[in-house]
């Protein structure tokens, strides 16, 4: 009431200078103090309505305190957060704990939650503005740290997900534990990115519904510095600084972005936006400036050389979505699906949005991995990749898929190979200005405090929510029908053959990807014999259908029981495409009690994720290096496999013998055998030449290189350099250590190695 009387006095005061001094002196009492009334439960004198209708008398004070009209239009951030369901319930729960009525109150709130939620939604319409857009955001951040608010957020999240009372109690106690641990640490502030964090090669990822225009109530002024015929510009001044994500400009017609100059400014700096950060939108006369929270922006100035053009729209945008987790895997189907599952899991944990990209090509297409072959001698399935519409339904694609121009192909290694807490992932510096690239690695490996069992259970539940296409849903139904008809549970053996053996992948056998995914049939045989001896039913999975059949037939004959082991093909009655067949295998394998695989096969890992339990066993965990060597050597010729399998088995013996410290001559004999069975594989020649160089048998190395240069130079050089996948780095070093001018071809190769190693140096 006193404020209203003072305002009336100021209006009547004839001494304008004195009136201005009074308004300036008592500004906060007159105009800002009353916003605290919003937090009161009752307003008998209708003061809120009266004070909300106030307007600042003098324009210079209006310009000085622009946040006043923001508060009038949107309320304060503190008011909004205190009106939130999370805060109100949290206060109620904490108060009940102090009054010894905790369990009674919590049970009541838990059972009545859905009803109270409806009331809340009816009584209070939350603003679309993110809290970061409010001038009093620092005060909001303090409340977000309150135990009551964090408990309320935990409770609401659990109830929305229909979690049990016991689970909700557990999560609330965990929230209390983490709050207590963080109590004496400095509270986080919003991380401001560096301009160098923005990848200028990709289009901004945030969509219209991720952003809020906070300049909608701010006038855009058209001004000039000296001469309106020479230097027109537009100005939008918020009056306070915000951490901006972008600026959107629209003109009355198309204009080249090179003719635009856009300045962003705040109280202490002004920055000219680089042209690389100005993007065309879908509309030819509209531009988006990507700021990516690299600067607190108070206003925008737009200059143009075209003095006849008019600016129709200027929007300063802040994030409503805190960040993104993007799966942009360039690999085959298994890796992509793993990236999607882990990405969706992480996005839910840190309240980011999830998105994925999809290309119909694969990163290693140059190795011919998509090719399938069916002849009398060979029958294997390639790593096929089909259009996204064949895999997912329209709703899933529309909700989660983003254009490839918005993200670079990524394996998410920095996410999966560095251990962080969820707090770090949400608030600290991320890999990209917008968030994180997803990984295929299980969250328990890189999230501190992540329980593996619970994470797998959550990922399995996420898988059930994915909107697959009609044909893929039918495959899931086919798998469920087949599994129900099985009379007993089964053990799965997933043998990564196919493209590892028959594509050009075999020509980089020392590449970590090939080494980790290769599962020797000789070792698979050993595992299967032990499983069937224990009375278990075994199903063999893998891309090489012919070799799988040979393995199954051998075991059946050896034990005299054709029902103890089957191939997955024995259960397929429909005609599937290669990618559909992969999806079938993946889902049926998820029903297994145990899955035996190579060290790193994401295909079988996805089956484990679908199952929701860690039933994946690598043969490396069963047999040490010496045992692996002995088993491969013992079973090498038993199955009658294709010569290329024999060659790869000899290469594995070569690799194992070196790790075991066997003599160089013994290892050399193994690589010679590998070349004998795969004469077209120049990788084995590379290793043979390396042996000659290390043992200083230069004449033999020269003779082999002479043969290569005369008969297969192009293939050899492409294998050694362009298609090497960095698997011959040690062999490059051997050439670099060679110093002898007598041998023509060896000197030529050394120069080629030098040129290759220096190819990126200007």
Residues above pLDDT 90, as percent of the chain: 51
Which residue matches tokens 């709130």?
A: 109
Higher pLDDT, residue 50 or 158: 158
Mean pLDDT (the chain) is 85
Per-residue pLDDT, 591: 97
Per-residue pLDDT, 708: 95
Which residue matches tokens 């929230």?
A: 175
The average pLDDT across 511-532 equals: 93
**From 92-106, 391-405, 684-698, the region with the lowest mean pLDDT:** 92-106
Per-residue pLDDT, 122: 36
The answer, yes or no, to whether residue 223 has pLDDT greater than 90, is: no
- How would residue 4 be classed by pLDDT, with cut points 50, 70 and 90? low
Q: Could you read off the pLDDT of 6-21 as tens digits, one per residue?
A: 666 566 565 666 666 6
The average pLDDT across 107-113 equals: 74
The answer, yes or no, to whether residue 115 has pLDDT greater than 60, is: no
Residue 385's φ and ψ, nearest 5 degrees, are -135, 125
Residue 741's φ and ψ, nearest 5 degrees, are -85, 0
Per-residue pLDDT, 2: 59
Residue 602: in which H helix or E strand, if any?
Answer: helix 602-611
Question: What is the separation of C-alpha 448 from the centre of its chain, rounded to a whole number of angstroms?
Answer: 17
d(CA 217, CA 630): 77
pTM above 0.75, yes or no: no
The answer, yes or no, to whether residue 259 has pLDDT greater than 60, is: yes
The answer, yes or no, to whether residue 492 has pLDDT greater than 80, is: yes
Closest CA relative to residue 585, chosen from 462, 530, 576, 594: 576
Per-residue pLDDT, 331: 83
- How would residue 117 be classed by pLDDT, with cut points 50, 70 and 90? very low
- How would residue 371 be classed by pLDDT, with cut points 50, 70 and 90? low
Per-residue pLDDT, 557: 94
**From 97-111, 157-171, 307-321, 725-739, the region with the lowest mean pLDDT:** 97-111
Q: Could you read off the pLDDT of 324-334 as tens digits, one per residue?
A: 999 999 888 89
SS3 510: coil
Per-residue pLDDT, 399: 94
The average pLDDT across 220-246 equals: 76
Per-residue pLDDT, 651: 97
Per-residue pLDDT, 116: 47
Output b/e per residue, 138-159; b: 16+ Cβ within 10 A.
Answer: eebbebbebbbbbbbbbbbbbb
Neighbouring C-alpha atoms within 13 Å toward the C-beta of 166: 0
The average pLDDT across 628-653 equals: 96
- How would residue 186 be classed by pLDDT, with cut points 50, 70 and 90? very low
> Quick one: 466 exposed, middle or buried, by C-beta within 10 A (0-12, 13-18, 19+)?
middle
Per-residue pLDDT, 22: 65
Higher pLDDT, residue 78 or 489: 489
Higher pLDDT, residue 237 or 50: 237
Per-residue pLDDT, 598: 92
Strand partners, 394: none
The answer, yes or no, to whether residue 569 has pLDDT greater than 50, is: yes
> Quick one: 409 exposed, middle or buried, by C-beta within 10 A (0-12, 13-18, 19+)?
middle
The answer, yes or no, to whether residue 129 has pLDDT greater than 50, is: yes
The answer, yes or no, to whether residue 185 has pLDDT greater than 70, is: no
Question: Phi/psi class of residue 368: alpha, beta or left (left: φ > 0; alpha: ψ in -120 to 50)?
Answer: left
The answer, yes or no, to whether residue 255 has pLDDT greater than 90, is: no
**From 29-43, 437-451, 493-507, 736-750, the region with the lowest mean pLDDT:** 29-43
d(CA 645, CA 650): 9
Higher pLDDT, residue 111 or 487: 487
d(CA 67, CA 135): 7
Q: Of the ranges 119-128, 224-233, 370-379, 728-737, which is most confident?
A: 728-737
The answer, yes or no, to whether residue 339 has pLDDT greater than 80, is: yes
- How would residue 365 be classed by pLDDT, with cut points 50, 70 and 90? low
The average pLDDT across 668-674 equals: 97
- How would residue 84 be classed by pLDDT, with cut points 50, 70 and 90? confident
SS3 542: strand
**Which strands sit side by side in the sheet containing 211-213, from one edge to the other?**
211-213, 311-319, 246-251, 286-290, 278-280
Per-residue pLDDT, 27: 54
The average pLDDT across 367-384 equals: 69
Higher pLDDT, residue 240 or 647: 647
- How would residue 126 be classed by pLDDT, with cut points 50, 70 and 90? very low
């Amino acid at each position: 009431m006193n404020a209203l009387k003072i305002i009336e006095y100021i209006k009547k005061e004839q001494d304008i200078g004195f009136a201005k001094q009074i308004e300036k002196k008592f500004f906060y009492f007159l105009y800002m103090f009353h916003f605290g009334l919003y937090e009161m439960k009752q307003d008998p004198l209708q003061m809120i309505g009266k004070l909300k209708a106030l307007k600042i008398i003098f324009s210079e004070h209006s310009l000085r305190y622009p946040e006043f009209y923001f508060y009038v239009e949107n309320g304060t951030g503190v008011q909004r957060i205190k009106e939130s369901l999370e805060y109100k319930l949290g206060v109620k729960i904490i108060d009940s704990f102090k009054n010894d009525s905790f369990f009674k109150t919590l049970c009541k709130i838990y059972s009545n939650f859905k009803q109270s939620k409806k009331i809340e939604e009816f009584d209070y319409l939350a603003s679309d503005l993110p809290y970061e857009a409010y001038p009093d955001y620092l005060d909001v951040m303090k409340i977000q740290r309150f135990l009551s608010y964090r408990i309320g957020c935990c409770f609401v999240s659990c109830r929305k997900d229909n979690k049990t009372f016991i689970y909700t109690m557990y999560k609330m106690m965990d929230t209390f534990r983490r709050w207590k641990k963080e109590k004496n640490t400095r509270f986080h502030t919003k991380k401001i990115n560096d301009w160098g964090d923005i990848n200028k090669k990709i289009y901004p990822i945030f969509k219209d519904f991720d952003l809020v225009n906070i300049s909608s109530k701010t006038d855009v002024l058209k001004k000039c510095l000296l001469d309106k015929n020479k230097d027109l510009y537009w100005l939008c001044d918020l009056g306070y600084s915000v951490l901006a994500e972008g600026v959107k400009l629209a003109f009355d017609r198309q204009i080249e972005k090179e003719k635009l100059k856009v300045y962003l400014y705040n109280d202490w700096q002004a920055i000219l936006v680089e042209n690389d950060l100005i993007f065309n939108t879908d509309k030819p006369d509209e531009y988006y400036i990507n700021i990516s929270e690299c600067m607190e922006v108070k206003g925008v100035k737009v200059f143009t050389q075209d003095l006849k053009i008019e600016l129709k729209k200027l929007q300063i945008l802040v994030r409503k979505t805190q960040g993104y987790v993007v799966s942009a895997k360039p690999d085959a189907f298994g890796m992509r699906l793993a990236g999607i599952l882990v990405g969706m899991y992480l996005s839910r944990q840190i309240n980011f949005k999830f998105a994925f990209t999809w290309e119909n090509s694969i990163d290693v297409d140059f190795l011919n991995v998509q090719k399938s072959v069916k002849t009398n001698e060979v029958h294997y399935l390639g790593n096929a990749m089909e259009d996204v519409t064949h895999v997912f339904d329209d709703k899933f694609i529309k909700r989660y898929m983003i254009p490839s121009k918005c993200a670079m192909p990524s394996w998410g290694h920095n996410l999966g190979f560095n251990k962080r807490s969820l707090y770090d992932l949400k608030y600290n510096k991320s890999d990209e200005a917008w968030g994180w690239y997803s990984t295929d690695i299980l969250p328990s490996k890189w999230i501190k405090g992540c329980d593996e069992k619970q994470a797998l259970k959550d990922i399995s539940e996420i898988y059930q929510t994915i909107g697959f296409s009609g044909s893929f849903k039918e495959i899931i139904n086919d798998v469920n029908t087949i599994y129900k008809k099985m009379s007993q549970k089964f053990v799965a053996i997933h043998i990564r053959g196919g493209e590892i053996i028959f594509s050009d992948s075999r020509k980089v056998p020392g590449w970590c990807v090939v080494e980790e995914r290769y599962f020797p049939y000789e070792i698979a045989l050993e595992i299967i014999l032990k499983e069937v001896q224990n009375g278990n039913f075994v199903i063999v999975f893998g891309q090489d259908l012919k070799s799988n059949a040979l393995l199954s037939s051998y075991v059946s004959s050896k034990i005299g029981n054709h029902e103890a082991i089957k191939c997955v093909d024995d259960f397929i009655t429909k005609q599937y495409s290669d990618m559909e067949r992969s999806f079938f295998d993946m889902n049926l394998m998820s029903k297994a009690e145990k899955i035996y695989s190579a060290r790193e096969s994401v295909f079988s890992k996805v089956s484990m994720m679908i199952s929701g339990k860690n039933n994946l066993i690598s043969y490396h965990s069963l047999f040490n290096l010496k045992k692996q060597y002995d088993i491969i050597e013992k079973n090498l010729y038993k199955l009658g496999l294709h010569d290329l399998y024999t060659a790869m088995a000899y290469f594995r013996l070569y690799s194992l013998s070196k790790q075991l410290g066997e003599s160089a001559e013994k290892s050399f004999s193994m690589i010679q055998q590998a070349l004998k069975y795969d004469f077209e594989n120049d990788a084995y020649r590379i290793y043979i030449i390396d042996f000659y160089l290390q043992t200083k048998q230069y004449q033999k190395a020269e003779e082999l290189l002479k043969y290569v240069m005369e008969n297969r130079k192009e293939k050899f050089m492409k294998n050694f350099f362009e298609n090497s996948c960095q698997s011959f780095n040690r062999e490059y070093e051997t050439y670099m250590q060679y110093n002898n001018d007598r041998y023509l071809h060896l000197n030529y190769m050394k120069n080629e190695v030098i040129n290759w190693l220096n190819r990126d140096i200007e």
